[in-house]
Amino acid sequence: MLLIQTVFVPRKLFSLHFSCPYHRCRSMCCVSGEKGAPTDPSEIDRIQTHLPHILPEMDNLSRQWIETHSIATHDESGWNITCLNDSEQCVFLVHINDQPACCLETVSAAEQIPTLRPLSCRLFPLRLRHFNGLRVLDYEVWDECQEAWQTPIPLIETCRPALIDALGKEWVDALITVSRRLSAHSSPPTSCQTE
């Protein structure tokens, strides 16, 4: 693990490549899993505020599910976006010209507002976790995403906009500096502290 300011980062993250082939995987991350995307109350509030623009863009089943069950659920792990039947696809998954899309993203673009899509979705496959007051930027490898890991695009570049939203531009600049430093040395240090 490397320590970048106050966030621990696995060193392997700097050598990983990832980019989602949504048109081929059919947005499996929006379908697979035991529950919906992690979210927080502020994100739920923003979605709720724009719900009058979102509901007309959804299919009837998803719209009825939200009207009956709300847009998020809560359990011991926190808040999650609602899924159909509590375990199937995200209620905000839609199909446009037979291609999967996020309704929150399309409405955000149409309304010209910052994206309503939860940060956890935009960070994927990265996960920002908290352990005993420490923050750890980790990643998940799903069987459904094998093709995404074969891209030449660095994972850090794929997730850079979401990382800026999550941790700030200054932190991401420090991350990029460390990445360049590691790639310039054949034997990188086992730990690194940046200010």
Going residue by residue through the chain (195 aa), what tens digit of pLDDT does each one get? 899 988 999 999 999 999 988 767 777 788 876 788 999 999 999 999 999 999 999 989 999 999 898 899 998 888 999 998 876 789 999 888 888 889 999 999 999 999 999 999 999 999 998 888 889 999 999 888 888 999 999 999 999 999 999 999 999 999 999 999 888 774 444 444 444
CB of 66 closer than 8 Å to CB of 82 = yes
Give the residue extent of every domain in the chain: 1-18+125-195, 28-116
CB of 14 closer than 8 Å to CB of 178 = yes
Q: How far apart are CA 176 and CA 118, in angstroms?
A: 24
Nearest alpha carbon to residue 154 among 144, 163, 143, 142 = 163
What pTM was estimated for this model as a whole? 0.83
